[in-house]
Amino acid sequence: MSLFSFSGQRPGNLGVNQGKLLACPGTPNCVCSQADPSDKEHFIDPITSDKSSEDAISSLKAIIEGMERSTINAATADYLYAEFSSKLMGFVDDVEFYAGQTGVIHVRAAARLGKSDLGVNRKRVDTIREKFQTAN
């Protein structure tokens, strides 16, 4: 449990819309594999996999359930939505995975509040990617 709670409101516009995750806002507290690769601030590589969409999401779910201060909010055969909260201040980040195309898992991770996340979402996605690839 955090000392403070800066959780903010859960966004109502998350999810997959026509094969796309929500674009990042202009602030440097979000990364998305569907951002323009020339946007170095927001673009992050998707996770690659040789698993079926359902198996990839299942693996991601197991990884996230093993991480501290994580909550799975939605999981389908090709989509996963989780929240992560910071230890001290209780800031909440929304993290989504979309495995709608074979071999590619798109990801979006964004802080709900503030302007900068000090690179936390990028580091988290890289950690999840590493755990996913190690487990396969």
In a domain, 73, yes or no: yes
In a domain, 97, yes or no: yes
Phi/psi at 125 (nearest 5 deg)? -65, -40
- pLDDT computed for residue 116 by the predictor: 79
Which CATH number belongs to the domain containing residue 44 in this structure?
A: 3.30.310.80
In terms of residue numbers, what domain contains 70? 31-135
**Whole-number average pLDDT of the chain:** 91
Residue 123 vs residue 135, higher pLDDT: 123
- Look-up of token digits 């396969």: 136
Does the pLDDT value for residue 51 go beyond 90? yes
For 12-54, the DSSP string reads SS-S-BTTBPPPP-SSSSEEETTS-TT-TTTB-PPEE-SS-HH
In a domain, 9, yes or no: no
Stretch 75-96: mean pLDDT, rounded? 91
- pLDDT computed for residue 101 by the predictor: 84
In a domain, 80, yes or no: yes
In a domain, 46, yes or no: yes
Spatial contact of 114 and 30, defined as CB atoms under 8 Å apart: no
- pLDDT computed for residue 6 by the predictor: 56
- pLDDT computed for residue 2 by the predictor: 44
Lowest mean pLDDT across 23-27, 37-41, 112-116: 112-116
Residue 86 vs residue 83, higher pLDDT: 83
Residue 87 vs residue 13, higher pLDDT: 13
Does the pLDDT value for residue 96 go beyond 50? yes
Rg (CA), the chain: 14
- Distance CA(44)–CA(31), nearest Å, equals 6
In a domain, 35, yes or no: yes
Q: How many domains does the chain fold into?
A: 1
- Distance CA(34)–CA(74), nearest Å, equals 20
- Distance CA(41)–CA(26), nearest Å, equals 9
Lowest mean pLDDT across 34-43, 72-81, 111-120, 125-134: 111-120
Token pair listed for 35: 């951002």
Does the pLDDT value for residue 74 go beyond 90? yes
In a domain, 68, yes or no: yes
In a domain, 12, yes or no: no
CB within 8 A of 26, min separation 6: which ones?
none
